[in-house]
Amino acid sequence: MYEIFRQYLDTKIKLTADESLKIQECAIIKKVRKHQYLLQEGDVWKYDAFISKGCLRTYAIDERGDEHVIGLGIENWWIGDRESLLSGNPSKFNIDAVEDSELVLFAHQNFEKLCMDIPAFGNMVSQILQRSFIASQNRIQAALSYTAEEKYRSFLEKYSVFATRIPQNMIASYLGISPETLSRVRKSVSKKH
């Protein structure tokens, strides 16, 4: 439903009725069922996508056939493959639904036009991009410095919302550890309390 996105916008920026309408006119509502792909490796990603309901993951598959969860997103997050979007090259990633989900999509050209025409909107988008970048930097730091247990603890601190909704094997993959190790870490963490 578009309503969720409207509410999200309201919390972030002030828009005139006209601007608000312009944005809505570009929006495409998309539903995906659990396990359904939003993007498959090899396809070109052409949208800016807001999650209004549910939960999705971005993952890559390496030569050994192992999956690596690159990103996770729930309500009020944005998702997509900016590399494919920007370069026009086929994506290296898959995005699929962890739960039945709903998204608000914008064709990227329309989206860029909205950013140009509505400065408040453009600024919001660039804010989001900045925060995504900062989050990646922090994730890199965690990947470089943390033990398996520290990775899990800091994940819980930041993203406790995810912890209950996402299967453990995906969390393990997101953290760069094996599901077995995550299971053991969880056991030892819970014992300590």
Positions touching a copy of itself (CB under 8 A) are 60, 62, 66, 68-71, 82-83, 86, 92, 126, 129-134, 136-141, 143-145, 173, 176
What's the min distance (Å) between Cβ of 129 and DNA? 30
What six digits make up the tokens of 77? 């997050």
Does 176 interact with DNA (rule: CB under 7 A)? yes
Query: Residue from 31, 34, 131, 158 that binds DNA (CB under 7 A)?
Result: 34
Short-list 127, 182, 184, CA closest to 155: 182
Nearer to DNA, 20 or 181 (CB): 181
Shortest Å, Cβ 172 to a copy of itself: 11
Output DSSP code: residue 34.
T
Look up tokens 């991009």; give the residue.
129
In angstroms, give the least distance from the CB of 137 to DNA: 20
Is residue 167 a contact residue for DNA (CB under 7 A)?
Answer: yes
Residue placing its CB nearer to DNA in the complex, 53 or 186: 186
> Could you give the 3-state DSSP secondary structure of residue 60?
strand
Cα 151 to Cα 51, 56, 77: the distances in Å are 26, 21, 22
Across-strand partners of 53?
Answer: 102
Query: Considering beta carbons, is residue 1 or 61 the nearer one to a copy of itself?
Result: 61
- Using rule CB under 7 A, residue 141 touches DNA: no
Tell me the C-alpha distance between 122 and 114, whole Å: 7
When asked if residue 165 is in the footprint of DNA (CB under 7 A), the reply is no
Q: With CB under 7 A, what is the number of residues at the site for DNA?
A: 18
- 3-state secondary structure at position 68: strand
Task: Determine how many CB atoms are found less than 10 A away from the CB of residue 92.
Answer: 13
* Tokens found for residue 1: 């439903």
147 binds DNA (CB under 7 A): yes
Residues in contact with DNA by CB under 7 A are 34, 147-149, 167-169, 176-184, 186-187
